[in-house]
Chain A
Amino acid sequence: MYKYDEYDQQMVDTRVAEFRDQVRRRLAGDLTEDQFKPLRLQNGLYLQLHAYMLRVAVPYGTLNSAQMTLLGDIADKYDRGYGHFTTRQNIQYNWIKLEDTPDILAELAKVEMHAIQTSGNCIRNISSDQFAGAAADEIVDPRPYAELLRQWSSFHPEFLVLPRKFKIAVIASEKDRAAMRLHDIGIRMVRNDAGEIGAQFYAGGGMGRTPMIAPLIRDFVPLDQLITFSEACLRVYNRYGRRDNKYKARIKILVHELGRDEYVRQVEEEFAHLLTQPIEPPLAELERIKAHFTGPAYDSAASDDLDLTDPDFRLWVERNTHAHKQAGYVIATVSLKPVGGIPGDATADQIRLMAKLAKDYSFDELRVTHAQNIVFPHVKKADLYTVWQALDEAGLSTANLDTVGDIIACPGLDYCSLANARSIPVAQKISERFGSAKRQAEIGELKLKISGCINACGHHHAGHIGILGVDKKGLENYQLLFGGSEGADTSLAKIIGPGFTEDGVVDAIEKATEVYLANKQGEERFLDTYRRIGMDPFKEAIYG
Chain B
Amino acid sequence: MVDVQFRFRDDETVNDPAVTVDSFSEQSNATAVRLEPGDDARELLPHLDRLSLIEVSFPAWTDGRGYSSARILREAGYAGEMRAVGDLVIDMLHHLRRCGFDAFAPDKALNEEDARTAFDRWENVYQATVVDGRPAIWAKRHPA
Contacts and interface: CB of A to CB of B under 8 A. Distances in A.
B2 interface: no
A544 to B, nearest CB: 51
A11 B121 CA distance: 10
A235 B40 CA distance: 13
A285 interface: yes
Contacts, number: 104
Contact of A238 (B67, B111, B126, B130): B67
Interface in A9-49: 10-11, 14, 17-18, 21-22, 25, 30, 35, 38-39
A133 B64 CA distance: 37
Nearest to A22: B91
B141 to A, nearest CB: 6
Nearest to A150: B126
Contact of B75 (A154, A155, A273, A288): A273
B91 A39 contact: yes
A161 interface: yes
B20 to A, nearest CB: 19
Interface stretch (A106-114, A276-284, A442-450): A276-284
A281 B138 contact: yes
A157 B121 contact: no
A154 B122 contact: no
A316 to B, nearest CB: 42
Interface string A478-505: 0000000000000000000000000000
Contacts of A239: 65, 68
B62 A121 contact: yes
B63 A161 contact: yes
Interface string B69-98: 001000100000000000001011011101
Interface string B122-144: 11111111100000111111100
B103 interface: no
Given A22-B91, A160-B92, A279 B127 contact: yes
A239 B124 CA distance: 26
Interface residues of A, number: 42
Interface in B94-125: 94-96, 98-99, 111, 114, 117, 121-125
Interface in A58-112: none
Nearest to A36: B91
B129 A278 contact: no
Contacts of A277: 75, 130
Contacts of B117: 21
Nearest to B123: A10
Given A121-B62, A273-B75, A158 B129 contact: yes
Interface of B: 37, 61-65, 67-68, 71, 75, 89, 91-92, 94-96, 98-99, 111, 114, 117, 121-130, 136-142
